[in-house]
Structure 1
Amino acid sequence: MHFTALSSKSIPKQIKTILEFNEKIYKEKNSEFIAQAYPVESIEQSDEILGKVRKKYFDATHHCYALKLLTGETKSSDDGEPKGSAGLRIINAIEHFDLLNVMVIVIRYFGGTKLGICPLGKAYYQSAFNVIKNSKIIKMKLYQQISVQIEFNYISQFHRIVNNFEGIIDNSEYSESAKFLLSVSPDNKDSLINDLINATNGSIKYHCTNSFSYLKSLNNT
């Protein structure tokens, strides 16, 4: 997810989310709860996913869901279930794992036996909990982009310093000089620039952009 013209202080330096789609089925008194977890980045994306799910599972009794985004936005629906028994419980499961940019949809096929409000809420929570627990949870670190221009004879030092600070080279261009677009943690930005200045005897040209993005941490397994 990319952000432009934002201060790094206004967004978390690290978030947890899920890597990819996952599904888990939970059953309670003949009712079947199909829980699906999705990584999402916007309300619009979640609406598109929900539309496809409703179309695929058109014969389901309910399509309840909740999502929580990095932007602070949350959205949920009980989709005809008693108020607070589904959407809120799914949100609770997402928050239990401290996740952002995640949507969980729980598709229910009614089994003929009413569960009651408390057991129903527990079933939705457990369904969402199970699918998240069985998903690949990853950490995403905040990176800031920096444009750098150096002379060719400093390229080896440049690569060494970038590697030392776990920077990522997004783009490179070679003409009269070497030009790079880097992504680096805001915490490492100043130290990386200082080392580059020292290594190039002050000849480096650089610009710290206002473009931020979240990238998967190098230490994720």
Structure 2
Amino acid sequence: MTYPVPDTQVETLYEIKKSKFIAYAAYADSREAAMALLAKVKSRYPDARHHCWAYLIGSPKQPLLLAMDDDGEPSGTAGKPILNVLQHKNVGDVMVIVTRYFGGIKLGAGGLVRAYSAAAQHAMSQLPTKQEVNLSEVKLNVDFKHEQFVRHLVQHNGGEVRECQYAQHVSMCVGVPTDGVDEFELQTAAIRIDVSS
């Protein structure tokens, strides 16, 4: 399954009624990675009042994990609006943190929801993405004369050669896009060496 993921990280600034909302969006493929990003942002802005966040891990159509946090803002006014933006952007493995510096003018619950939504939206609209491809591991043994052909096939299919060992034949460990494994198996069936005998 392929889906867009962040290609890099972005940071944007949204200001309303003297309050500053600094939105940071980046790639996170696990809760640990997301929490590491949060720690990084907190250390960059240690004097900020709030670091509200949400993440969506896995495919945007069928996420493996979703989480959010209001970080002291009134319940439902920060994390939920950020998560709502993520759920409508068709980007997977993404974390958005919105850091708030209070400007002295209260925004009210509705104003906070709009401000956190706008900050997250702004960051996501500027976030470059790339296609995430899930690779499955395939092991095969081939004659030396077929190694280059296999390398070409793997590259052509958007995979990677992970390991090669040379003996009487070449033992290869390759990563092939999961949805193309059957096709790859068919393409290499005729040149594989059975070493079980």
TM-score category by the smaller chain?
Answer: 0.7 to 0.9
- Secondary structure, aligned partner of 2:74: coil
Listed one character per residue, the Cα deviations across residues 117-172 of structure 1 (whole Å, up to 9, x for unaligned) are: 11211110110111111111121112111011111233344344434434321222
Which of these residues, 144, 169, 172, is aligned with residue 136 of structure 2?
A: 144
Q: Deviation of residue 85 (structure 1)?
A: 0.8
Q: CA 1:159 to 1:103, structure 2 compared with 1: closer, same or farther past 3 Å?
A: closer
User: Within 1, Cα distance between the matches of 2:155 and 2:32?
Assistant: 37
Equivalent positions of 1:56-205 (< 5 A) are 56-70=44-58, 72-198=64-190, 200=191, 203-205=192-194
- Secondary structure, aligned partner of 2:48: coil
Aligned equivalent of 2:10: 22
Judge conservation of contact 2:151–2:161 (CA < 8 Å) in 1. no
Q: Which runs of 5+ in 1 are unaligned?
A: 1-12, 207-221
Judge conservation of contact 1:196–1:204 (CA < 8 Å) in 2. no
User: Within 2, Cα distance between the matches of 1:162 and 1:35?
Assistant: 39
Listed one character per residue, the Cα deviations across residues 58-103 of structure 1 (whole Å, up to 9, x for unaligned) are: 2112111111112622221111211111000000111121222211
**Moved beyond 3 Å, runs of 4+:** 159-167
- Count of paired positions: 191
Task: Tell me how large the CA RMSD over aligned residues is.
Answer: 1.9
Q: CA 1:188 to 1:205, structure 2 compared with 1: closer, same or farther past 3 Å?
A: farther
Aligned equivalent of 1:36: 24
Q: CA 1:162 to 1:17, structure 2 compared with 1: closer, same or farther past 3 Å?
A: closer
Query: How much identity, in percent, do the aligned residues show?
Result: 29
- Secondary structure, aligned partner of 2:172: strand
User: Within 2, Cα distance between the matches of 1:136 and 1:97?
Assistant: 12
Q: Which runs of 5+ in 2 are unaligned?
A: none
Judge conservation of contact 2:137–2:175 (CA < 8 Å) in 1. yes
